[in-house]
Structure 1
Amino acid sequence: MSAQTPLGLFATDTLIHDEDRAMAQTVRRFVDDRIRPEIAAWYEAGHIPARDLAKELGALGVLGMHLEGYGCAGTTATAYGLACLELEAGDSGVRSLVSVQGSLAMFAIYAHGSQEQKQEWLPQMAAGEAIGCFGLTEPDFGSDPGGMRTRARRDGTDWVLSGTKMWITNGSVADVAVVWAQTDEGIRGFVVPTDTPGFSAPEITRKMSLRASVTAELVFDEVRLPESAMLPGARGLSGPLSCLSEARFGIVFGALGAARDCLETAIGYAGQRQLHGRPLAGYQATQLKLADMTLELGKGMLLALHLGRLKDAGALRPEQVSLGKLNNVREAIAIARECRTILGAAGITLEYPIMRHANNLESVLTYEGTSEVHQLIIGQALTGERAFG
């Protein structure tokens, strides 16, 4: 009998609207043509041509693609999720560039910014002419963003911003940073052009994960901003958390892209690798592994598509996003590790994508909410009791 693809076995394509499928196919072609031939070299070098890629991704229409107006494509949330899946099938770092740009920096301005802020930044960012980053995490305040030490104080009609942020994707190549800080009015967001005096963004190097992604520290040394830099529609932690929920939704789909690429690679390798005169794919132990991984990939895809439909209907809740992020990233990293065993020693080289995906997923597992944070969000939804801290 003819072999089927893992998701083909679940017939998940039948659950996807034609327009959404067309967008996914467009992004897949871009990944095949532009990302796959280069990604191993970028990963090994710890460098990615972020500015060139941003312009190409802008021309493709994926930057802020699920937002309306201001040069954004206005697609469904499901289409955005599928685009994240295809991008992360290439590399988590490329998907991170897109999701930080669209679901964190652009969404913060779109949802909480003034008309002037939206008109100044969103069209440039949608085109990839300007790159954005999102400054929330601090060295000592990752899972506890409410404890941040970065502070903005009023000085006449201006704001003066001081502090540091850490592990900021796109930070050292960004043209604009959306930065969250403590003020006398609570936590507020600010739109900070990165050429403002006192702003610096030293790049973080020597990473073993997300090497094909720009990661930086943000430093604010008495950065003076006009009153108009503040995001008027965000007050308290609900502002940045709403942005995180947007980005986590993309991860629900994105992690499946890495898992699918690992699984399809392992199936292809097992079909070619000869062991004792027959293909590795013909052994029961190999088929048992492939069957179990296919089950988890397919279940994750069904969950992602369900959450996409809920989001498109305006009915998706943050705790439901946590269900998807917790399950799909956890299963994706398990799939990557199991696929590596099928490839044996070949699995640790950059000739194949599996170890690269596994290393990247170690970061995806803990950023934008660790597994424990999402477990506690789900636990609170189930019990009504808050167990954080």
Structure 2
Amino acid sequence: MYDVIIVGGGPAGSSAAIRLAQRAPEIASRSLLIDKAIFPRKKLCGGGVTQHAWDLLRALDVTLDIPMFPIHQMRLVYDDLVATFHWRNLFRVVQRAEFDAALLNVARARDVEIREGVALREVARDDAGVTLVTDAGELRAGAVIAADGANSIVRQKLGLVRSDRISRLMEILTPVESPERSFEFANHTAVFDFTPLVKNVQGYYWDFPSYKNGAPMMNRGLFDARVRPDRPRAELKTVLAAELQQRELDLNTLKLEGHPERWFDPNEKHSAPRIVLAGDAAGTEPWLGEGISHAIDFGTRASDYVIRAFAKNDFSFADYSKIISNSALGRRLRFKKFIAHYVYGNRGEWFYRWGWRALQIGLPFVQRD
């Protein structure tokens, strides 16, 4: 029987394992991380790793040697209005397959047992522990950290699923033949185009410069928070095709992929006796959909919580949701949810045009070179 089983090897799960090894090596030595995939595995994501995420990794004594493209400015677009935010190393764009595999390898190097290619089928709890039924047999643990993504099997088995807390994302990668002639590459710029707001998209189109296997690529996509489910549902593929056409790209010739993203609601339950949710399984923010830093933070806090549970021999986990909601992580998630509700509400054209003009005036005073 394991002390802790972590389900999911993404940033939340790997960070949880690394934190266990850092704070409670005796528990980590009796813990296991499982994931249904074999790493490196494909993961759809814009790949923006914020400075806050790197700070969290440094606190875990983690450095990653992977290709990344530094972003020094955000180009915020609405129709014909453009506001630019300058901040050196605002974030770095990575390929998630490389980032997640490297972070999982750190957990492995910290002597946490890792099993890849193990898919979870069922979850059963009793007074003494949790039984996980997998395609490789049954596993038993005193506690479980569920970091198995927006479509979390653990969350489903606990009956904590709500379909109205899901954002939608579509993404493509396109090669860049001459990066020196690309505005985004030459100026280390990420584009956030909010013009699709007028087409009922509760979000934005993005262009992120990046590298894949050493080749320059543009990560392009569309984010629809759906934080206001009462509003009409946007036709994302049609909107994305129009955005790409403006960039002289034909969606029909490109490989389009999509994925959901769960957003955090502090009023929902994120735990059950002996089980806590972390990362996308619990939710991220619906404003910009940035999930990596929150996943790392979630995994770290979930491990701290489980370590305290072992110290107190209390596995009710009744106050986990409250502790997360009142933490710095919870406050950030709640704040960004408020912004999303406000910005993606039923606003008129005047609201966005006035807002962008305000950004044009104010952003030059908030920058770092």
Larger relative contact order (Cα-Cα within 8 Å, sequence gap ≥ 6): 2
TM (normalized to structure 1)? 0.29
Normalized per residue, the structure richer in helix is: 1
